[in-house]
Amino acid sequence: MTDRLLDATHDPALQSWVPSANEPGTDFPIQNLPYGAFRRVGRDEPLRIGVAIGDQVLDLKLAAAQAGWPADVQPLLAPLAAGDLNALMAQGAPARRQLRAALSQALRAGSPQQAALAGALVPQSEAAMAVPCRIGDYTDFYTGIHHATAVGKLFRPDNPLLPNYKWVPIGYHGRVSSIGVSGQRFRRPTGQTAGPEGTPLFGPVKRLDYELELGVFVGAGNAQGEPMTMAQAEDEWFGMVLLNDWSARDLQAWEYQPLGPFLSKSFATTISPWIVTQEALAPFRRPFTRPEGDPAPLPYLDSATNSERGALGLTIEVWLQTPAMAQPERLSCGNAADAYWTVAQMLTHHSSNGCNLQPGDLLGSGTLSGPNPDQAGSLLELTQGGKQAITLSSGETRTFLQDGDTVILKAYAEAPGARRVGFGECRGTVLG
């Protein structure tokens, strides 16, 4: 990682005048400053953009009305006060970095803006979160090679990876209308599944699963017919959320040939409410390497910068709480650095045919599993396709999700010389 990625906002010794932001275990120290959309619980008011700081939210509608902001920062705050995060995304990396610096100055201990901004804080417990921006399009990739290999072995034991996997970032077009924010509750989907002797059945799906993913929000994007270079792609991603790509495995197995997932994926997708910007993640970038013997990426998907810091060291976890459990139980723990393709490679490939990516477009990473069994990002892998049930601490067993089950995704980043940064929860519940 090069020093140019880091600035005063990353100083691990930096403290905030918001006391909870200084607690060691918080997901939202002053070094993070993620964006989300919210309104106060019980209030009939328009959405506005807020910044998470400790257990509080800085309401940018209230904050923007206070004095003390630099003149060139006020135009950046205005659309956020009106609930329009896409407007900041559209301005690209310079505006994103400028506003981060101003927010860091305003929220750090000893800031002259403390008295003015104290009244703009809202407890997170009193904030009703929404999807953080307007999502125009959603593409889900397949960057988790360990997931792809494990799933491939269930169907093709001798040749689990298809020939194109190590050459091209594979993706499919997802459904925006069913994307919901953490806390989403959805009915078990119904659909057509394989029946005896090739005659399909229609009814509630029986093999409902989760997928542990990261979601990447596009920044300024690119014009139609003008593909991004790797350098442009590195600048043109705004930030990340956790993403649960709920999957009906029995429906998927029947429908996915020849055109890929359709109704098996479109009934619900859950994301965490806070977008952690790429600047907040800068201290946790890692060298990106391929296993020895694997092909090097084609030139349009390769760069020195990508090799130097394309990977992201993020601990990612899946937790499950059944109706019989008082507390959730962790099912798996992995690391996002195991992904086979980087964020810049996904963006570059997506735009390589001239496709125009727009501010607020969402890219899913695909299921992020590690090489070990306890790092699996789905029940499909944990249970070997439903053949080996897992036993929970409550004594219950699961092959796939049952009605009333709640899945919770978590992620955080830690590194020497950096303050821990987290994502909050991505929580969703299956209804009957």
CATH architecture of 3-130: Roll (2.30)
Closest CA to 59 of 43, 72, 70: 43
Q: Of 181, 180, 245, which is closest to residue 208 (Cα–Cα)?
A: 245
Note if the pTM is more than 0.75: yes
Token duo for residue 123: 């407890």
Stretch(es) of the chain classified as CATH 3.90.850.10? 138-431
| Full pLDDT tens readout for the chain, 432 residues | 346 789 999 999 999 999 999 999 999 999 999 999 999 999 999 999 999 999 999 999 999 999 999 999 999 999 999 999 999 999 999 999 999 999 999 999 999 999 999 999 999 999 999 999 999 999 999 999 999 999 999 888 888 999 999 999 999 999 999 999 999 999 999 999 999 888 999 999 999 999 999 999 999 999 999 999 999 999 989 999 999 999 999 999 999 989 999 999 999 999 999 999 999 999 999 999 999 999 999 999 999 999 999 999 999 999 999 999 999 999 999 999 999 999 999 999 999 999 999 999 999 999 999 999 999 999 999 999 999 999 999 999 999 999 999 999 999 999 999 999 999 999 999 998
Give the amino acid at 190: T
Phi, psi of 195 (to 5 degrees): -120, -170
Closest CA relative to residue 183, chosen from 121, 127, 240: 127
Contact 341, 366 (CB under 8 A): no
What CATH code would you report for 138-431? Answer: 3.90.850.10
Is residue 10 among the annotated active site residues? no
Residues of each domain in the chain carrying CATH 2.30.30.230: 3-130
Q: Is 317 strand, coil or helix?
A: strand
Could you count the other beta carbons within 10 Å of the beta carbon of residue 149? Answer: 16
| Structure-block tokens of residue 390 | 């897992």
Which residue among 10, 146, 147, 349 is the active-site one? Answer: 147
Q: What are phi and psi of 156, to 5 degrees?
A: -135, 75
Rounded-to-integer distance, Cα 36 and Cα 273, Å: 6
